[in-house]
Amino acid sequence: MAPVTAPAAATARLLPVADNRHCLAWATGHARRRPGLLAAALGAMVVTAAMGLAAPLATGEIVQALVERRGRGAAVGPVIGLALAVLVGALAARTAGRLSARLVLPAVAELREDVLAAAVALPVDVAEAGGSGDLISRVCNDVDQITEAAQESLADFTSAALAVCAAFIGLAALDWRFLLAALPAVPIQLWTLRWYLRSSRPVYAAGRIAEGRRTESLLGTFAALPTVRALRLGPARRAAAARSSLDAVSYEIQATRLATRFYGRLNGAELIGLGTILATAAVLIHDGGTTVGAATSAALFFVGLFNPINTVLGVFDDLQQAGAGIARLLGVRDHEAVPVPVPVPRSDRAAAAADSSLIIDEVSFRYGPPGTQEAVSGISIDVAPGRHVAVVGVSGSGKSTLAGLAAGLYTPGSGSVTIGGAPVAGRVALIAQQPHLFAGTVADNLRLAAPEADDARISAVLATTGALSWVSALPQGTETLIGAGGHPLTGGQAQHLALARLLLLDPPFVILDEATAEGGSDAARSLDEAARAATRDRGALIIAHRLSQVVAAAQIVVLADGRVVERGTHDELLAADGHYAHLWLAWSRHRS
């Protein structure tokens, strides 16, 4: 067997995974929450299993009748009894299925909902650590696997455990010495189970990760089909998908190899147990200690134990599989949000400005682990209420990271972002650089910011931002479906809607990250107006390459390599003849 090696990419950052204790606590917590349902489901399973024992009894009766040379009528009683048992058993099986579905399905659905809710609230860099594939794979694939394993194992375990008990009692009733003889198998079985649980856990865990990578590869392709077609990347994307898919397959097969070795060792244990019993029987028969009949029964009882015992042990395999998924889901759900550090003003400046300004105080942040390069270092910016501060710099200088920090999407590595000494949550809105349209109507997209907004309010913000004219011209106006699979909008139109949405939200501070960069003509002209409407009477941090946007700002901050290299008004910075003057020259050369 190939050793389980975590492939290179698996060592990359992924979303967190919970430990075993945590998973167990979740499962028992759920079982305790609905004890009645659990008991009823188990009861129904026991009845199903018990009714299964009616067949041997009935056949025994018939054989007995034959031995006693009774008439044909003697078969009627046992057959009717059997029929009743079958009927009850069938009803119990149906009930057991229904109850266990009621036990498992809602619990798992609730888990995936909690996971998604937790994931969207995580710091964005944590949530996106494994790419969207990691998270999507958890709420889809892992959930499927848990559901399957949980439903199967519950029913299997109950009926098999019942059968094991019955057989053991039978064995003991025949002669306690047979029970002793069967014991050598037990330590081997326990040892095998331990070995298996230890060696299969990493395989299952790696398999889940491989499925996450497969999901990422597939999503990357499925979400960018126009690019795939235009650049003729079909064969390359197919090859990448095939690679990740076969990688995931290889873990499944590896897991099966382990499982079959597990069952192989259990067979070995059975052989030893059966051998001991037969040897004991031979000795006992020889000494006259037992009858041939009793010995036969004992050996056959033991043979009858094989399948149920394997099933019971196999349930541990199911639990192991489900556990791998549950650990991944709980890891996200219960991820300790990095505690927002109680903002401690580190400089007099911040302490003094304990009014309602947005204070970015010596903030540093890095995406990678400690020791890697910082995306922004020691940045301090004050945005007074109603004032506009612009941030410029070449791409990759840390502007978008700064925007994310100011809006509370990331937790700063050091420093603080505060308003009046408190965290910014709920008082700062950000328009992200990448406009995203959610699948739904135009109105749905706007109402994300204010679910209670009525149609009149929707129309009002569209009118204020100048978007009403083109929205009205859409096939169904504000009820037109947009986003994936909907009516196509240009990047500029998407940004226009984002600005209108900001008005619905009406926050005291806004951060515009290239909010008017897309598409440059009819839409862009009204985008500039929309941006003005969205920032009027608000404090604003405006990130823009289109420098016409920043000229009027009260202060312009220039970033380079994650640090502030210049700050001042447009005129001051032009006079300084530094970075900004250089950018301005490039910008204005063809625009005057």
Show contacts with other proteins in window 269-308 (CB under 8 A): 270-271, 274-275, 278-279, 281-283, 285-286, 292, 295-296, 299-300, 303
| Candidate list 20, 59, 347, 472; residue touching other proteins; CB under 8 A | 59
Residue 540 zone, left/alpha/beta (φ > 0; ψ -120 to 50; rest): beta
Supply 440's token pair: 């739904």
Least distance between other proteins and beta carbon 332 (Å): 12
Q: Between the CA atoms of 434, 436, 442 and 447, what dihedral angle is there, to the nearest 10 degrees?
A: -90
Q: Which is nearer to other proteins, 323 or 507 (CB)?
A: 507
Check: CB of residue 541 under 8 Å from CB of residue 406.
Answer: yes
Task: Pick out residues in 489-508 that bind other proteins (CB under 8 A).
Answer: 490-493, 498, 501-502, 505
Shortest reach from residue 8's CB to other proteins, in Å: 9
Provide the mask over 230-269, with x wherever binding to other proteins is found by CB under 8 A and - wherever it is not: xxxxx--xx-xxx--xx--x--xx--xx-xxx-xx--xx-
Residue 127 makes contact with other proteins by CB under 8 A: yes
Determine the size of the site formed for other proteins (CB under 8 A).
188
Of residues 175-234, which lie at the interface with other proteins (CB under 8 A)?
A: 215-234
Nearer to other proteins, 350 or 524 (CB): 524
Q: Does 525 bind other proteins (CB under 8 A)?
A: yes
Among 10, 50, 62, 172, binds other proteins (CB under 8 A): 62
Specify the DSSP element, H or E, that contains 167. Answer: helix 143-174
Cβ of residue 485: shortest distance to other proteins, in angstroms?
A: 5
Q: Return the number of the residue (181 or 432) whose C-beta is nearest other proteins.
A: 432
- 488-507 burial code (b ≥16 CB/10 A, e <16): ebbebbbbbbbbbbbbbbeb
With respect to other proteins, which residue has the nearer C-beta, 63 or 354?
Answer: 63
Minimum gap (Å) between residue 87 Cβ and other proteins: 7
Q: How far is the CB of 351 from other proteins (least distance, A)?
A: 28
Among the listed residues 372, 456, 537, 571, the single contact to other proteins using CB under 8 A: 372
Footprint of other proteins on 380-419 (CB under 8 A) = 392-396, 399-401, 404, 407-409
Footprint of other proteins on 305-364 (CB under 8 A)? none
**Residue 64 binding other proteins, by CB under 8 A:** no
CB of 561 to other proteins, least distance (A): 9
- What b/e readout covers 286-319, taking b as 16+ CB neighbours within 10 angstroms? eeeebeeebbebbbebbebbbebbbbbbbbbbbb
Residues 90-119 that bind other proteins (CB under 8 A): 90-91, 93-98, 101-102, 105-106, 109, 112-113, 116-117, 119
CB neighbour class for 165 (10 Å; exposed up to 12, middle 13-18, buried from 19) = exposed
Length of the chain: 592
According to CB under 8 A, which residues from 462 to 481 bind other proteins?
473
Closest approach, Cβ 390 to other proteins, in A, equals 13
CA 61 to chain centre: 56
Least distance in angstroms from the C-beta of 345 to other proteins? 25
- Give least dist CB 362 to other proteins, A: 22
151: which 2 tokens? 């439903």
Number of H helices, E strands in the chain: 21, 12
Distance of CA 115 to the CA centre of its chain: 6
Please state, in angstroms and rounded to a whole number, the distance separating the CA atoms of residues 494 and 515.
Answer: 10
Burial (CB < 10 A; 0-12, 13-18, 19+), residue 362, is: middle
Q: Which residue number, 264 or 347, has a Cβ lying nearer to other proteins?
A: 264
Give the pair of three-digit tokens for residue 51: 């009714």
The dihedrals phi and psi of 387, each to the nearest 5 degrees, come to -100, 155
* Residue 79 interacts with other proteins (CB under 8 A): yes or no: yes
CB of 508 closer than 8 Å to CB of 539: yes
CB of 188 to other proteins, least distance (A): 14
| Residue 33 binds to other proteins (criterion: CB under 8 A) | no
For residues 91-126, one letter each, b for 16 or more C-beta atoms within 10 angstroms of the residue's C-beta and e for the rest, the string is: ebbebbbebbeebbeebbeebbeebbebbeebbebb
